[in-house]
Amino acid sequence: MKIVSWNVNSVRARIENILEYINDSNPDILFLQEIKTQNENFPSESFAKSGYNSYVFGQKSYNGVAFVSKSKIENIKRDFIKDKLKQSRIITGEILINKKKIKLINIYVPNGNPVDTEKYEYKKDWLTSFIKKIKKELTINSNIIISGDFNIIPEEIDVYDSKRYEDDALYRLEIRKKFRELINYGFSDLFRHFNKSKHEYTFWDYFAGSWKKNYGMRIDHFLASNNLIGNVKSITINKKPRSKTKPSDHTPIELEIS
DNA sequence: ATGGCTGAGCTACTCAGA
């Protein structure tokens, strides 16, 4: 089974690119973030034509997450945590892989910049609530996949110039510690697990020729509960969609699991 | 090496992203 996570930076502005990606890559499930639209304007019909069901937690203009899936996803929920600002940032569901019930958690973590504002506090609080809920969730179901745009650069090798980001909400030590805390509850950062020293990125700014210069960062992640690592066939960052015209600033990360 | 792109909502310009 191929599961893909992609911050598309507007599902409507990106629909042609996404459909082309689906046609090329044939994913079973897409975790989308930053769909930037309300449920009623989500292009479910376009995905249906390609054979996919849509499960949407939208919001006007900003944020928004969705699952797009060939098979049905059960037990869809949009209230995994109580979001203080009522932003649409998490959708969860359940699937069966090899008769194992797997909890799917699709997240779009707040950016948090600039750091001396309430935006940063919101990010910290959000992560605190999320981690607390995950800890609780592990007592119910030990098979969990968390994926999405974490807006966290886990380590120095995950950004082209870490010095520049030391006081940035994506790389501040305090934020990276939250990521470590989550991992320490029993998850693996799958890309890093299978690529111990690779410098690969999932995001490049639109401006200043960032893509051409490879000034990127790895902020989109697949976390799997440790008991699922043996089921992972591959984890790949697919840079092709970032090179297309009218691209998202993020590129898909692809998980093969059986 | 910051905000010089980009998108939404709206239809002039702000807000947001990272």
Give me the helices (H) in A167-254, please: 173-184, 190-194, 210-213
User: Is A88 in contact with A63 (CB distance < 8 Å)?
Assistant: yes
Confidence of residue A23 (pLDDT cuts 50, 70, 90): very high
- Residue positions counted in chain A: 258
**CA A206 → C1' B4, Å?**
10
The domains of chain A, with CATH numbers, are 2-257 (3.60.10.10)
Predicted local distance difference test score (pLDDT) of residue A119? 95
Strands (E), chain A: 2-7, 29-33, 53-57, 65-69, 74-77, 90-97, 100-108, 144-149, 187-189, 203-204, 216-217, 220-225, 232-237, 253-257
Predicted local distance difference test score (pLDDT) of residue A188? 98
Residue A228 reports pLDDT greater than 90: yes
Confidence of residue A208 (pLDDT cuts 50, 70, 90): confident
Averaged pLDDT for residues A209-216: 95
Residue A87 reports pLDDT greater than 90: yes
**Beta-bridge partner residues of A65:** A33, A57
Percent of chain A with pLDDT over 90: 99
Q: Residue A100's CB: how many other CB atoms inside 10 A? A: 13
Predicted local distance difference test score (pLDDT) of residue A173? 97
Predicted local distance difference test score (pLDDT) of residue A21? 98
Predicted local distance difference test score (pLDDT) of residue A118? 94
Averaged pLDDT for residues A169-183: 97
The secondary structure of residue A77, as a DSSP letter, is E
**CA A186 → C1' B13, Å?**
47
Whether the CB of A251 is less than 7 Å away from nucleic strand B comes out as no
What is the overall mean pLDDT for chain A?
97
Nearest nt (C1') to A204 (CA)?
Answer: B18
Nearest nt (C1') to A34 (CA)?
Answer: B17
**CA A110 → C1' B16, Å?**
11
As ranges, strand B nucleotides with an atom below 7 A of a protein CB are: 1-9, 16-18
